[in-house]
Structure 1
Amino acid sequence: MPVVTPYIPEYITVHIGAPSSGGENVTVTFSNYIKNVASSEIYPTWEPPALRANILAQVSFALNRVYTEFYPSRGYPFQITSSTAYDQKFIPSRNIFENVAKLVDEIFDDYIRRQGHVEPLSAKFCNGTTTTCDGLSQWGSQDLALGGYNSMQILRNYYGDDIELVIDAPIQGIRLSYPGSALRRDDSGPEVAVIQTSLNRISQDYPAIPKIWPVDGIFGEQTENAVRKFQSIFKLTSDGVVGKSTWYKLVYLYVGITRLSELVTEGQTFFGISFQYPDAVELGDSGEKVNVLQYMLAVLSQFNDELPLITIDGVFGPVTREAVRAFQEKKHLPETGIADRKTWDYLYREFQGVSETVLDNPNLFPSERQSGADADTDYGTTTQMTQFPGYPLTLGSHDA
């Protein structure tokens, strides 16, 4: 949730011992941290593919802790611990093996992720002899290397065929996700979109929180109401303002619900929808801008029989082109089948009109079903089966 693009931190702060212990916090460069972990966890005499596979797992696990703000969201002033019961072994001031240090220098800015996911894989591992786990077996990786496996074959053996390697990730200082000041009504920007997306996902497990639609990065009445309900449920000051405590409670719940810090995870795939005109969208294009275009067309087709139904698949094919042409004909625009700026603006204005007059109308689509005088404290009054998600469900729809 916190950041769109994972990065390699210049420095990482390690707590010596279990999270709640009184141990010191040690700040080291990320590459030196990995050198220490690798020298503490594996043997330098192992085959190079086994060493490489283990180091990539260690890098990815640490980056997952940084990306998910696993400990800061719990109020701790560090990114990871030295306890193998929670994280991976780190021994202050230990000797570093020369061949391990050289290999880490080559690959400390590479990491594993699942295809289609944003977050670094929480690449858990164990020694494979005295302890076993669902992740990588350290001694097993050496056996596979001796059998001729390369590092990616070893990793896929343990983590699955759907993993990929990100090469040369950017390096920067630790970036806390909290924007630095509270977000409230009438604010806008990507941080608001993060709030909206997070609340929508959390509401699947806590359905008393009303859905927000559209996810547009604008802190309006819907967002304020959802924030208030979230704060009420989790015993925060119910003021509708997202300060630091509310922000990190959102991070904590979002990461936990989606299991972003687990080996088996729902995965982080997107952060909301931007309706800002990207550039001309036309036949052969693909990606998020096509998804947004198709979504607006799909919504409008529910209210206008002149527009054909389309599948939201992120691919601008002939059917999408015909839908654009049909909309252009309806609006007396040049029928090019290309979503240029004028077509996009007309399309967005009509979509917004439907959203404001129909989808946001509480009489037509109530976000909560009240029951009794104390309905505000009755978290069971809205259920996943009865709460309208805030937008029409059509072919290709998916959860936030």
Structure 2
Amino acid sequence: MPEEYTVRPSPIETYIPENITVHLGPPGTYAPNVTVTFLDYIKNVASSEIYPTWPETAIAANIIAQISFALNRVFTEYYRSRGFDFDITSLPAYDQTFVNGRDTFENVGELAEQLWTTYIRRKGSIEPLYAQYCNGTTTTCSGLSQWGTVALAEQGLSPIEILRSYYGDNIELVENAPVVGFETSVPPYVLRLGAASNDVAILQARLNRISSNYPNIPKIANVNGIYDLSTRDAVTEFQRTFSLTTDGITGRSTWYEVLRVYTAVKKLSELNSEQITYDEIPIVFPLEIAPGSTGNEVRVIQYYLNFISSYYDTVPSIEIDGIYGPLTEASAAAFQTTMGLPATGVIDEPTFDLMYENYLAFVRSLPDESGAAAVPFPGNNLLLGSEGEDVRLLQTYLSVIRQDYPSITELTPDGIFGAQTEQAVKDYQELFGLNVNGVVGPVVWHSIANTYNNIAGTENRQEGQWAT
């Protein structure tokens, strides 16, 4: 059970991390890492970079720039996507000055306490601004001049007016950003053919943007969150281009390399960033499923909860009806309590990840019962290009069902999900009022399994009894 409630970075919102890990040296060199609270980090950087005797508005403008710079490093996972185990360095040659263990100035610290959840972004953009700055005397840059902020403050400019003097009029301040414990953005499960999630959709969108700079990487025509053959082909070519293992599977190394290259081509860690706008982020599955929701996503949740309830007495079983009513809410809250999560009754990302993790663990622990009733959903969607025993079982079930539903395309159970299998799945989906897309997820598998069990397990049935 998790000891604390943490989240992965959101693709549509910038969070303030509770903690930040600082490397006390240049990247790639041996030096210790220290992890401090983000607030203490900002107090330290501000006390190391500027003078406490400066006008308060100048200090405030500098602190906001320092916060934005650090958040940009966290948001883009700039160092972690390069294989490092820290978020930022302590050196101004790479990032901004952090002096481990130093005392901080009282007035600077008080301002940091007021501002540490405030950052800069361009209007209409998601990512924190890469708020480049320099001292303006011994070094100059295209961003903020630290000493220049003093002169502007003495002219009576406010912090936002000072910042706009350097970064342009199209910036805005985001205030009171949420503070959370961070995990890596790497999906909790390897993405491969058949995976379906917002992570897949984000991967597809990033690969499509990268392919504009690397045209050998094929475009993915349908950014739908389903890891299909076109997604696998794009991943494989990306891996080949950037000297990764070419297996078409997106694990940690491929995910981070895609993020690194995406950040580079979008210039997200530069002052002239291309920016990430909200309409660029493909959220194809709901970020949370709450009471009152209906539809296929609810059925998926109910399927998992109902299966898990067989293993946890604390989680009540529920009907799979696609309606998120009081019983589903109670079951979800009971699962959250069992897992040590806040019992909100709302399926958010941490809840779903643990639900799926538990489901997979239980399914994989089941004994082989070939020839008995249909087995539970194997945990990964089956679609064109899938291969293996799960596909062979699906084909077997559909072949049995076809005895009573002859409009389903005839199949030979060979474990290869080809065009005929896809058509047979579509035939079944159309017959039973399901979304016709040729993809077998938990809801379709559950329906096929139930139909198979009814037909294969019924004695003395009449020929064509269930035919339509």
Q: Aligning the two structures, in what range does the TM-score lie when normalised by the shorter sequence?
A: 0.5 to 0.7
**Counterpart in the other structure of 2:271:** 263
Q: Is the 8 A contact 1:37 1:89 kept in 2?
A: yes
Q: Cα deviations across residues 49-72 of structure 1 (Å, max 9, x unaligned)?
A: 101000000000000000000000
**Counterpart in the other structure of 2:228:** 220
Deviation at residue 276 of structure 1 after TM alignment: 6.7
**Counterpart in the other structure of 2:162:** 154
| 1:84 and 2:92 aligned | yes
5+ long unaligned stretches in structure 1: 279-351, 354-400
**Counterpart in the other structure of 1:357:** none
**Counterpart in the other structure of 2:20:** 12
**Please, which of 2, 5, 26 is the counterpart of residue 34 of structure 2?**
26
Q: Residue 122 of structure 2 aligns to which amino acid in structure 1?
A: R
**Counterpart in the other structure of 1:97:** 105
Cα pair distance change 1:219/1:103, threshold 3 Å: same
Indicate the SS of the match to 2:182.
coil
Q: Cα deviations across residues 241-277 of structure 1 (Å, max 9, x unaligned)?
A: 1011110110110001101011110011144445679
Q: Cα deviations across residues 79-119 of structure 1 (Å, max 9, x unaligned)?
A: 00011100000001111100011110011001000011100
Q: Residue 110 of structure 1 aligns to which amino acid in structure 2?
A: T
Q: Is the 8 A contact 2:11 2:281 kept in 1?
A: no
Q: Residue 216 of structure 1 aligns to which amino acid in structure 2?
A: N
Q: Is the 8 A contact 2:134 2:146 kept in 1?
A: yes
Q: Cα deviations across residues 271-329 of structure 1 (Å, max 9, x unaligned)?
A: 44456799xxxxxxxxxxxxxxxxxxxxxxxxxxxxxxxxxxxxxxxxxxxxxxxxxxx
Indicate the SS of the match to 1:173.
strand
In structure 1, distance between residues paired with 2:75 and 2:154: 34
Alignment of 1:111-150 (within 5 A): 111-150=119-158
Q: Is the 8 A contact 1:114 1:164 kept in 2?
A: yes
Q: Is the 8 A contact 1:38 1:100 kept in 2?
A: yes
In structure 1, distance between residues paired with 2:68 and 2:209: 25
Q: Is the 8 A contact 2:197 2:285 kept in 1?
A: no
Alignment of 1:157-168 (within 5 A): 157-168=165-176
In structure 2, distance between residues paired with 1:5 and 1:176: 15
Indicate the SS of the match to 1:217.
coil
Cα pair distance change 1:274/1:85, threshold 3 Å: closer
In structure 2, distance between residues paired with 1:79 and 1:48: 29
Cα pair distance change 1:272/1:214, threshold 3 Å: farther
Deviation at residue 237 of structure 1 after TM alignment: 1.4
Q: Is the 8 A contact 1:64 1:121 kept in 2?
A: yes
Q: TM-score, normalised by structure 2?
A: 0.58
Cα pair distance change 1:273/1:179, threshold 3 Å: closer
Alignment of 1:371-382 (within 5 A): none
| 1:75 and 2:83 aligned | yes
Q: Cα deviations across residues 9-50 of structure 1 (Å, max 9, x unaligned)?
A: 000000011112211101100000000000000000111110
Q: Residue 204 of structure 1 aligns to which amino acid in structure 2?
A: S
In structure 1, distance between residues paired with 2:262 and 2:134: 27
In structure 2, distance between residues paired with 1:100 and 1:262: 27
**Counterpart in the other structure of 2:255:** 247
Q: Is the 8 A contact 1:2 1:251 kept in 2?
A: no
RMSD: 1.9
Q: Is the 8 A contact 1:196 1:215 kept in 2?
A: yes
Deviation at residue 163 of structure 1 after TM alignment: 0.2
Q: Is the 8 A contact 2:202 2:282 kept in 1?
A: no
Indicate the SS of the match to 1:28.
strand
In structure 2, distance between residues paired with 1:121 and 1:80: 16
| 1:60 and 2:68 aligned | yes
Indicate the SS of the match to 1:187.
coil
Deviation at residue 3 of structure 1 after TM alignment: 2.9
Cα pair distance change 1:175/1:167, threshold 3 Å: same
Cα pair distance change 1:275/1:87, threshold 3 Å: closer
Size of the alignment, in residue pairs? 281
Q: Residue 245 of structure 1 aligns to which amino acid in structure 2?
A: S
Deviation at residue 134 of structure 1 after TM alignment: 0.4
Alignment of 1:363-374 (within 5 A): none
In structure 2, distance between residues paired with 1:214 and 1:272: 14
**Counterpart in the other structure of 1:291:** none
Q: Residue 132 of structure 2 aligns to which amino acid in structure 1?
A: K
In structure 2, distance between residues paired with 1:78 and 1:273: 28
In structure 2, distance between residues paired with 1:113 and 1:155: 11
Deviation at residue 203 of structure 1 after TM alignment: 0.2
Q: Is the 8 A contact 1:65 1:71 kept in 2?
A: yes
Q: Cα deviations across residues 109-160 of structure 1 (Å, max 9, x unaligned)?
A: 0100001110000101000011110010000000000011110100000000
Indicate the SS of the match to 1:26.
strand
In structure 1, distance between residues paired with 2:223 and 2:164: 36
Cα pair distance change 1:192/1:156, threshold 3 Å: same
5+ long unaligned stretches in structure 2: 1-8, 288-435, 438-468
In structure 1, distance between residues paired with 2:243 and 2:286: 40
**Counterpart in the other structure of 2:353:** none
Q: Is the 8 A contact 2:216 2:237 kept in 1?
A: yes
